[in-house]
Amino acid sequence: MADTLPTDTGSPSVAALAPASQLDAWNAANPVGTWVIAYPGARGFRSLITQTRSVAIVTSSGHLAVWVKGHGGYIALTHIDPISAEKAGALLEQKHQFLDLDADSTCPFEGASRYPYLTLGGQP
């Protein structure tokens, strides 16, 4: 049988070593609570500005993933971008201003607020 591998090799597979080293590097650089931009679906669409709530893991399919606050499942590390707390604050404020949902703000243009009844006193 020429197409079978020998069972007595003592060297582990390179593919098996790569995720572990990437996993250790990610966990060393990004502890639990790191601010991230997460893309639960396709990368580049519907981003989620949040914090990690677990260390990175290797999934049963062999992908590296992490759990984040505000999302029910894990997200692959290829769909996670770590950011600073300052950048996270600025992005969250920008999103808040765009949605314009607080009582003390005014709607910057027609249709900017999805829920005009939450502006307390604004005309629907």
- pLDDT tens string 92-103: 887 776 666 555
pLDDT tens track for 4-37: 544 444 444 444 545 678 889 999 999 999 999 9
Whole-number pLDDT of residue 52:
95
Largest CA distance in the chain: 80
User: In the numeric block, which tokens belong to residue 33?
Assistant: 């609570």
pTM of the model as a whole: 0.63
Placement of tokens 């593919």 in the chain = 15
More confident residue, 79 or 45: 79
Quote the CA–CA distance of 38 and 46 in Å, as a whole number.
Answer: 9
User: In the numeric block, which tokens belong to residue 75?
Assistant: 């997200």
Tell me the percentage of the chain whose pLDDT exceeds 70: 62
Cα dihedral: 66, 80, 91, 119 (round 10): -60
Average pLDDT, the chain: 74
Is pLDDT of 75 > 80? Answer: yes
User: In the numeric block, which tokens belong to residue 53?
Assistant: 């709530």
Whole-number pLDDT of residue 106:
57
Cβ atoms of residues 75 and 57 within 8 Å: no
Quote the CA–CA distance of 7 and 23 in Å, as a whole number.
Answer: 27
